[in-house]
Amino acid sequence: MKKIGVLTSGGDSPGMNPAIRAVVRKAIFHNVEVYGIYGGYLGLVNGNIKKLELGSVGDIIHRGGTMLQSARLPEFANREVQKKGIEQLRAHGIEGLVVIGGDGSYRGAKALTEQGYPCVGVPGTIDNDIPGTELTIGFDTALNTVIDAIDKIRDTATSHERTFVIEVMGRDAGDIALWAGLAGGAETILIPEENYDMKEVADRLRSGHERGKKHSIIVVAEGVCSGYEFARQLKESTEFDTRVSVLGHIQRGGSPTVADRVLASRLGARAVELLIEGRGGRAVGIENNKLVDYDIIEALDKKHTLDLDLFKLSKELSI
Ligand code: F6P
């Protein structure tokens, strides 16, 4: 393989830039040319493709977002649109593609692979919801952003003896809520993977306050319901003075943490190795701190599983 392409797609995540850097530098190290596809699958279909050099990825390792820009393109589910993308790649002489992104991006990579074009998926999303990897690029940075917010909210919650409902992202997965809730000492964590009982939530809050707690933090994953909706329900069952904070897209920005930069560098470089070895149609991941790769077509049939032991632990520690 002499020419490969790289694109980022879907919701951006902190660490996509170090992943792009790793792809470009690893490929050039092996005398393979790299082309950047700007604007995700939309840029692919429109032929927004430019050659990247070593210097193109200088000074990006610490930057959030993605220098290649990103987009969501639901039309890419259409076979004809996919064919246009493959035509663009072939017209540029690009023989393999690294796709950095989340669930939707993997579906695009899977479709191209099924049409006979070699792709390798690199998991880049703050949601940590990609099957076949314990961690996705951007999850750690997002968690640190959420923790920073929870710590600050805790200060004001204590001063006013308030209950705070903090809504975090994660799409259908509760990973951000669970990890940040555990690390932030939240009294209650609500995740889509487990039903909640409002009476139990209210009882917990009451017993904490009876023991002298000055505040309560409830972290709600967006996949459960909106923070405002939960606060409304809580108001019906309790007497607590409650405020809501929706953290929103702040969770997607910021300089990637060390953990994300290292993860992105390892996964991006491994994706290039696979293409050079002629092993397209794979997705890379990390398990027990070891790089793994698996069939991208099978990957999407698997389900991401949240660590329910961690959920149990969070309940035990927040009594
Ligand atoms: O997948 C990343 C994510 O930030 C989700 O957590 C969230 O549900 C979604 O993207 C928001 O998407 P958009 O930026 O398109 O509104």
Note whether 9 and 100 are within 8 A (CB). Answer: yes
> 287: which strand partners?
290
Residue 251 CA, closest ligand 1 atom number: 4
Q: Is the domain of 130 the same as that of 274?
A: yes
E strand or H helix that includes residue 316: helix 308-317
**One domain for residues 96 and 154:** no
> Is 233 in the same domain as 184?
yes
pLDDT over 90 (residue 302): no
**Does 318 reside within a domain?**
no
Annotated active-site residue 127? The verdict is yes
- CATH number for the domain harbouring residue 91: 3.40.50.450
Which pLDDT score is estimated for 273? 98
Q: What is the average per-residue pLDDT within 100-105?
A: 95
Residue, of 193 and 298, whose pLDDT is higher: 193
Range of the domain at 232: 140-253
Question: What pLDDT, on the 0 to 100 scale, is given for residue 319?
Answer: 81
For the domain that residue 173 is a member of, what is the CATH number? 3.40.50.460
296 & 150 share domain: no
User: How many domains does one find in the chain?
Assistant: 2
In a domain, 144, yes or no: yes
Q: Tell me, what's the pLDDT at 133?
A: 95
Question: Residue 114 burial by CB count (10 A; 0-12/13-18/19+): exposed, middle or buried?
Answer: middle
Query: Of 253, 285, 310, which residue is a domain's last?
Result: 253
What pLDDT, on the 0 to 100 scale, is given for residue 214? 83
Look at 135-149, 164-178, 208-222, 251-265 and tell me which has the smallest mean pLDDT: 208-222
Residues 25, 101: one domain? yes
Question: Helix (H, G, I), strand (E, B), or coil: what is residue 285?
Answer: strand
Ligand 1: centre distance to CA 33 (Å): 32
Same domain, 70 and 129: yes
| Dihedrals phi, psi of 295, to nearest 5 degrees | -65, 125
Question: How far does residue 9's CA lie from ligand 1's centre (Å)?
Answer: 12
Q: Coil, helix or strand for 58?
A: coil
For residue 226, count CB atoms less than 10 angstroms from its CB and return exposed for 0-12, middle for 13-18, buried for 19 or more.
middle
pLDDT at 102 over 90: yes
- If asked whether residues 129 and 148 sit together in one domain, one would say no
> The tokens 């990006």 sit on which residue?
60
pLDDT single digits (tens) 198-257? 999 999 999 998 998 889 999 999 999 999 999 999 999 888 889 999 999 999 999 999
Shared domain for 113 and 144, answered yes or no, is no
Q: Which of 9, 70, 126, 130 to mutate to test the pocket of ligand 1 (most atoms within 8 A of CB)?
A: 126
168 and 77 within one domain: no
* Angle subtended at Cα 134 by Cα 132 and Cα 138, rounded to the nearest 5 degrees: 110
Atom of ligand 1 nearest to the CA of 126: 2
